[in-house]
Amino acid sequence: MRDVAVVGVGMHPFGKFADRSVTDLCHTAVTAALADAGIGWRDVDAVAAASSRFSGGKGWGLNGNDVVEDMGSTGIPVYNMSAGCAAGGNAFNVGYSLVAGGMYDTVLVVGGEKMPKGFIQTSGVEEETDPEFLRQRCVGMPGPAFWALLCRRRMAEFGTTEEQLAGIAVKAHQIGKHNDNARFRQEFSVADVLGSNMVSDPLRLYEICPVSDGAAAAVICSADKARALTSSPVWVAGSAVATMRFDDGLPRGLAGVVPDGPTHHSEAALAVGKALDQAGAEPTDVDFVELQDNTVYYELAFPEDWGLCKPGEAEHLLAAGETMPTGSLPINPSGGFLCFGEATTAMGVFQVAELTWQLRGQAGARQVPGAALGLAQTLGLGGNATAVVLKK
């Protein structure tokens, strides 16, 4: 396997853009990534694209083909990937594998989405064999209710308070105000968060990420090509994909199995573990992490599941300011999904862009001092998960 580097990243700011198509959003991100890499469109050998369920030219999840037609039909191969909210990370893993395996020297990874209003409906078909349909329609448990149950369990196990949950949203916006690409850049107090509308007890509106329109792109290439383009490439130390285990224990597979060990999204823990193993790194080697904070709960549970901190310790790290960019365990120095809103298929590529800017020292007021190794993670419908480790 060849060494692979990220040499260019770009993003379209997140928000709601009624007058712009998803292809327009991707055009902005792709053009910026190419310029950042110092290459032209004709230098791209292949495209790995996160496919869209909700939007995009032809439909059918052919976002990559829409991008190629928009940028110029040069005959290059397109790989359209679908993995729900993990699609961006999945596309990155495919692009990485194509370069590492020697098939192509330069691959563009891109994800873009225009989201419908309201909370994401994860099951679009009334299919009685689909656990997502059964959970949402029969049990009456959409995403926010599912996250609320996880929160309640943590509150019972570790004594987590509503004020601590609100503090995570406060922290996110203290950081996100410095990110020009973020949609929500205003600061909140704990009282503001606790005063926002209750969605599913104990989770309030400001503690759940909204849906947004957005796009992100990354140019990755072989080591020889990278060194010809830049004197300081960002290296892909690990890239992994996983799915949930049968004994996960969460009410998704409806397996009724009592798990042995942590039960918070086995797919995420598996992907993170594989990516760190590829990188030859321990959890304690991670300088900062971009994790999927659909809700504030995940900023507490995930670092503990992955060995970044001890069980029950996450609340104390938050209170001590250790999860800020200048702390010992910076979490979501981008501002995270809470500040951006989720444009499902773009999010894994959005995280790669943030890791790259941090490792280059280009993050401005949200910079993690001395950042040398960054971890990113996504998870999506179907028990999909991805993880990426980038290093200087």
Over residues 53-100, the pLDDT tens digits come to 666 567 678 899 999 999 999 999 999 998 888 999 999 999 999 999
Looking at residue 253, its pLDDT comes to: 46
How far CA 294 is from CA of 10, 205, 297, 344, in Å, comes to: 23, 12, 8, 11
User: 4-118+208-391 adopts what CATH topology?
Assistant: Peroxisomal Thiolase; Chain A, domain 1 (3.40.47)
pLDDT tens digits for range 260-273: 555 668 899 999 99
Phi-psi sector, 115: left (phi>0), alpha (psi -120 to 50), beta: beta
Looking at residue 262, its pLDDT comes to: 56
Given the DSSP bridges, would you call strands 373-380 and 78-81 parallel, antiparallel or unpaired? unpaired
Looking at residue 53, its pLDDT comes to: 63
Looking at residue 255, its pLDDT comes to: 44
Cis peptide leading into residue 369 (ω within 30°) = no
The pTM assigned to this predicted structure is 0.93
Looking at residue 231, its pLDDT comes to: 87
Length of the chain: 392
Looking at residue 140, its pLDDT comes to: 65
CB neighbours of 77 closer than 8 A, spacing ≥ 6? 46, 47
Looking at residue 6, its pLDDT comes to: 98
pLDDT tens digits for range 47-59: 999 987 666 567 6
Q: Under DSSP, is residue 202 helix (H, G, I), strand (E, B) or coil?
A: coil
Looking at residue 383, its pLDDT comes to: 84
Given the DSSP bridges, would you call strands 373-380 and 384-391 parallel, antiparallel or unpaired? antiparallel
Instruction: Using 70 as the pLDDT threshold, list the residues of the chain that sit under it.
Output: 53-57, 59, 118-125, 130-141, 249-264
